[in-house]
Structure 1
Amino acid sequence: MVERYTVAIRELPDTERPRERLKLYGPQALSDKELLAIQLRIGTRELSALGLAEHLLKEFRGLGGIARAHLEDLKRVKGVGEVKAIEIAATVELGRRIMVLEETPRPKITSPRDVANLLMPELRYEAREHFKSVLLDTKNQVIKISSVSTGTLDCSLAHPREVFREAIIHNAAAIIAVHNHPSGDPTPSVEDRKVTERLLEAGKIVGIELLDHIVIGAQQYISFKERGWID
């Protein structure tokens, strides 16, 4: 038998309401029941959101059981229904994906070939030029691959402001510029060289080193660093 929980959340003191407690103390301070109640938002005529959350935790024997439950199992619980069941399932899946991200080691760049292997599968068949910057930490591990622009590469599309913005936000120690040539020929153009010179100068000003500029073609690449065009 479901235990009745007749006190609505709005009738609780502010310091006991899950949303207010989260704002005041952060999500870490909340119990499983409180976090689940925030996700549920509303309860039923018999149970508040907190009461429904408590019932769910008992029904499935904790968060682990809820995470393993199928959508149909969640929907069968009185007061949950299809919409809430879908929202719970989506939240669980987001949690799983975050765990995978945290457990997956970040790629470490030791050579231009590492960068080419990382981006060639994505860029070699593109019909337009894509300019990306690979953000690195002090150990040359990839923090993020940032998309800067799409179109014909020129100084306006690959402006240092756009290239280094994400690097500054993410506290990158260095970056590697990468773009593709849809023709398949990775030979750098005059414009490619101009863009690289501007990025080198900007990097010195903001304190984020441009380690390399790699041009990707059809199953081949050219590295400015390997060619000796970047010290």
Structure 2
Amino acid sequence: MGKSGVGVGGTTIKEMPFSERPYEKLEQYGPQVLSDAELLAIIIRSGTRNDPSVSVARQILQLNPRGLGGIHQLTLEELKEIDGIGRVKSIQIKAIAELSKRLSKLHAMDKVRINSPSTVANIYMEEMRYLEQEHLKIVMLDTKNQITGDSLLSIGTVNASLVNPREVFIHALKQSAVQIILVHNHPSGDPEPSREDIAITNRVKEAGELLGIHLLDHLVIGDGSYISLKERNLC
């Protein structure tokens, strides 16, 4: 297991040749010119006695076939298997990965008008496609079909008997939503809707009609693909 610090003789960014130092490259040319490993090296700050921080960063990126895109899937224990990465650094890496994911989602949501299922899928695909359990979310829209917020309704197998429409619309009413969309993932990667998915959709749709809040769609997210129940005429 790696150590969170570096002992005497450890290689730090400051000990690298000036032209190879990520800090200086970022200051002079901007963050866009740095490689994924160099950006990650800035976060972890120091390497080990034998490996500079950029080399340690490359080892982290190689832990998942998706490289940078797979960092958020790595566990703290997997990160700590890298020499030079201990408790503190592994937590920092996970925190940065989560912040990056949230920033990406906020950017995608910013003043976007929801006019098709693909627009919703583009916002939630990366967040939900790799989840190991089913997550059901409600997405709330205003009169301009812009997202005003979302809320997590349940984690685990999505079951019509466990999803209470009352809980769904408590969130919608708090946000003054006029329309809502349900989004959940299938950990198997296959977005084909189940009977339970269809049953939940119908229950929520019927409850929404009584409250004057329209269920616009229900999306099932798979691994890189999705299915819209509205497009299937099931919503």
Shift in Å, 1:145: 1.2
Secondary structure class of the residue paired with 1:145: strand
Q: Is residue 134 of structure 2 the alignment partner of residue 129 of structure 1?
A: yes
1:150 equivalent among 150, 155, 159: 155
Normalising by structure 2, we get a TM-score of 0.53
Shift in Å, 1:156: 3.8
The 1:169/1:187 distance shift into structure 2, 3 A limit, reads: same
The 1:136/1:128 distance shift into structure 2, 3 A limit, reads: same
Whole-angstrom distance in 1 between the partners of 2:123 and 2:153: 17
2:191 equivalent among 186, 189, 192: 186
The equivalent of 2:232 in structure 1 is: 227
Aligned ranges 1:104-123 → 2 under 5 Å: 105-123=110-128
The equivalent of 2:181 in structure 1 is: 176
Where in structure 2 are there 5+ consecutive unaligned residues? 1-105
In the TM superposition, what whole-angstrom CA distance separates every residue of 1:14-43 from its partner, at most 9, and x where no partner exists? xxxxxxxxxxxxxxxxxxxxxxxxxxxxxx
Normalising by structure 1, we get a TM-score of 0.53
Whole-angstrom distance in 2 between the partners of 1:176 and 1:128: 20
Whole-angstrom distance in 2 between the partners of 1:207 and 1:184: 34
Whole-angstrom distance in 2 between the partners of 1:155 and 1:138: 28
Shift in Å, 1:107: 2.3
| Residues 106 and 143 in structure 1, CA contact (< 8 A), matched pair in contact too | no
Give % identity: 54
The equivalent of 1:167 in structure 2 is: 172
Shift in Å, 1:162: 1.4
Corresponding letter in the other structure for 1:160? P
Whole-angstrom distance in 1 between the partners of 2:233 and 2:189: 22
Where in structure 1 are there 5+ consecutive unaligned residues? 1-100
Whole-angstrom distance in 2 between the partners of 1:165 and 1:128: 24
Q: How many aligned residue pairs are there?
A: 128
Shift in Å, 1:159: 1.5
In the TM superposition, what whole-angstrom CA distance separates every residue of 1:168-203 from its partner, at most 9, and x where no partner exists? 111101000000000000001111111011011001
In the TM superposition, what whole-angstrom CA distance separates every residue of 1:93-148 from its partner, at most 9, and x where no partner exists? xxxxxxxx9xx942221100011001010000000000001100011000001111
Corresponding letter in the other structure for 1:182? P
Corresponding letter in the other structure for 2:128? L
Shift in Å, 1:227: 1.2
The equivalent of 1:215 in structure 2 is: 220
Whole-angstrom distance in 2 between the partners of 1:132 and 1:228: 21
Secondary structure class of the residue paired with 2:170: helix
Whole-angstrom distance in 2 between the partners of 1:158 and 1:108: 28
Whole-angstrom distance in 2 between the partners of 1:139 and 1:180: 26
Secondary structure class of the residue paired with 2:206: helix
Secondary structure class of the residue paired with 2:202: helix
Whole-angstrom distance in 1 between the partners of 2:172 and 2:112: 17
The structure with more radius of gyration: 1
Shift in Å, 1:157: 3.5
